Amino acid sequence: MKIGIIGGTGDIGEGLAHRLSQNHQIIIGSRDKDKACESSECMVQCLSERGCSAHCCGATNQEAVDIADIIVISVNYRHLESTISSLTGFENKIVITPVNPIGKSDHFYYNPPAEGSAALAIKKMLPESAKIVAAFNNISAQKWKNLDETLDYSVAVCGDDKDAKKIVMGLVEEVSELTAFDAGPLETSSIIESITPLILNIAKFNNMKDVGIKFY
Ligand SMILES: NC(=O)c1ccc[n+]([C@@H]2O[C@H](COP(=O)([O-])OP(=O)(O)OC[C@H]3O[C@@H](n4cnc5c(N)ncnc54)[C@H](OP(=O)(O)O)[C@@H]3O)[C@@H](O)[C@H]2O)c1
């Protein structure tokens, strides 16, 4: 599949690209195409040093949307609206959101928009035919990037389009030891997003690093 990552030069975008580019064509999107190409070259080099081939290229965010079958929106919540409103062509595409609207004081807290979650806000911003799926919200980018690390975690996936959700769950299961769980319709996305501040607080207050979740 062709997977375009909007904001793909960032932490989670690069992490996802590291793991998914061995089986899929990854288009790393950016506001700056040169930056995206640099990020792609760096990753291809890193994987080739490990004897792995990577299918990856750099592009503008718009090119990533145009080329891809599946689009990951990998920008901070506060840049969502400006990013999405600058792009077109989401009709009928699968759009994955790992976006977590989080605030921070002496602890992390869930800070959702009026729509109820980032995923529901994205749904409102995109054409009706776009198939929004929330996934990859709760695993830290560092874990994705460190290819020596086995990813033995659960990934909660939610969305309203059953076929799109099934495709995304299939993608999840291709990665390391990840297990995908159907968490219901997009309405449940706030629950998935709010797990992230929980695990960040657990990491912070228990001197742990990159806490993850696993369902039995
Ligand atoms: N980091 C994690 O461990 C992690 C884990 C799970 C989920 N998430 C979620 O994934 C999303 C991305 O997180 P991240 O840590 O990867 O973010 P990030 O590294 O801070 O930023 C991602 C990309 O956003 C773009 N960007 C920066 N400022 C922007 C602006 N003003 N307008 C538009 N684009 C801008 C940049 O790409 P260009 O400069 O190339 O355009 C940047 O590389 C967040 O919503 C986060 O909640 C993160």
pLDDT > 90 in the chain, percent: 98
Range of the domain at 10: 2-205
Give the model's confidence band at 119: pLDDT under 50 very low, under 70 low, under 90 confident, else very high: very high
Count of structural domains within the chain: 1
pLDDT tens, position by position, 52-110: 989 999 999 999 999 999 999 999 999 999 999 999 999 999 999 999 999 999 999 99
The domain that contains 64 carries what CATH number?
Answer: 3.40.50.720
Distances (CA, A) of 132 to 44, 49, 156, 191: 29, 35, 14, 16
Between helix 11-20 and helix 33-49 the angle, nearest 10°, is 50
Does a structural domain hold residue 162? yes
Which phi and psi angles does 26 have, rounded to 5°? -100, 130
Distance 9 CA to ligand 1 centre (A): 8
Distances (CA, A) of 36 to 41, 157, 159: 9, 27, 29
Does a structural domain hold residue 213? no
Does a structural domain hold residue 215? no
Ligand 1: nearest atom to the Cα of 39 = 40
Does a structural domain hold residue 216? no
Does a structural domain hold residue 96? yes
Does a structural domain hold residue 85? yes
* Ligand 1 lining (C-beta closer than 6 Å): 7, 9-13, 30-32, 35, 74-77, 79, 82-83, 98-100, 137, 140-141
Q: How many residues does the chain have?
A: 216
Does a structural domain hold residue 137? yes
- pTM (two decimals): 0.98
**Average pLDDT score over residue span 105-117:** 98
- Across the chain, how many H-helices and E-strands are there? 8, 10
Does a structural domain hold residue 62? yes
Q: How far apart are CA 157 and CA 97, in angstroms?
A: 10
Mean pLDDT of the chain: 97
- Which amino acid residue places its CA nearest to atom 42 of ligand 1? 10
Which pLDDT does position 210 carry in this prediction? 84
**Average pLDDT score over residue span 104-133:** 98
What is the C-alpha R_g of the chain? Answer: 16
Which phi and psi angles does 104 have, rounded to 5°? -140, 130
pLDDT tens, position by position, 162-190: 999 999 999 999 999 999 999 999 999 99
